Structure 1
Amino acid sequence: MSDTNFLTLSDNEWRERLDPISYQVLRQAGTERPGTGRLLDEGREGTYACKACGTELFEAGTKFDAHCGWPSFYEAKDDAVTFIEDRTHGMVRTEVRCAACDSHLGHIFPDAPQTPTGNRYCMNSVSLTFIPADGGDAVEG
């Protein structure tokens, strides 16, 4: 991660930094279509980082197939994310945001009893960058 204070970037600076779909999801709390994300089937060891600022968010070992159409994790790295009550679309949900740049990542649901935490962090693939443990090239969602 650079020394940039991401919380002070203007809307225009975010638009220059991100491609249109990433901007719509990360900065306008949009959602990519289920089953379309490049990182949905990623199975290698590594780390998932915020596509907007590079903050490490999830270890690959916490990823699981929730059969929901989006990459799912049962645990975030310590202090990497924040939570906000989301009452859009006639529902009450918990939105997950990057703690470093306040970008929208997805939502968390307490509906994964098969995991150690019982939680499902349902993340937009386009909000993440996968960094392989073997030092290979990063893959943007």
Structure 2
Amino acid sequence: MNKLDALWEYQQAELALARLKREMKSSPSYQKRTKLHNFLAEQQASIEKINADMRAKDGSLATCSSKLDALLKRYDLEKSELDIMENDEESTAAELTEAKKSIEKLLEEINALHKELAEMITWLNQASEAISSAYSKAGRAKKDYDAVRAVCDAEKDAFKP
């Protein structure tokens, strides 16, 4: 066999291989496997993004919680001072008014932090549900993917010359 014949046979084999690959890729099971693979990749990316967001929120949650603890301690301290001032005859009306304003300001800050914490907790609950849903969907898709992959592997074996 000369070089030209060998080159011709090689070219024919390459063309046959390309035709087989096209046939395999056009099969319904291969297309379904590709869709499932893409879906699994999307779910994985979604889970990773939510986990990253949750880690960021976790830091904010800890910060807000420590701020709230500090504000509550200040509130208790100022409230006890106000109670003492109300029972003390030497306290002036201006001092009492100032103490009450300070307590009201603290209460506003505490309420704002409570609201922020409640929003974070709501978001974390929703994120947790989203992750659970993504894991559930991915689990079902993985089972389907494994079954379709087995079919694709069998088809691939059948396509072998």
Is the TM value for this pair above 0.5?
Answer: no
- Higher relative contact order (Cα pairs below 8 Å, separated by 6+ residues): 2
Query: Higher helix share goes to which structure?
Result: 2
TM range (shorter): under 0.3
Tell which structure's C-alpha radius of gyration is larger.
Answer: 2
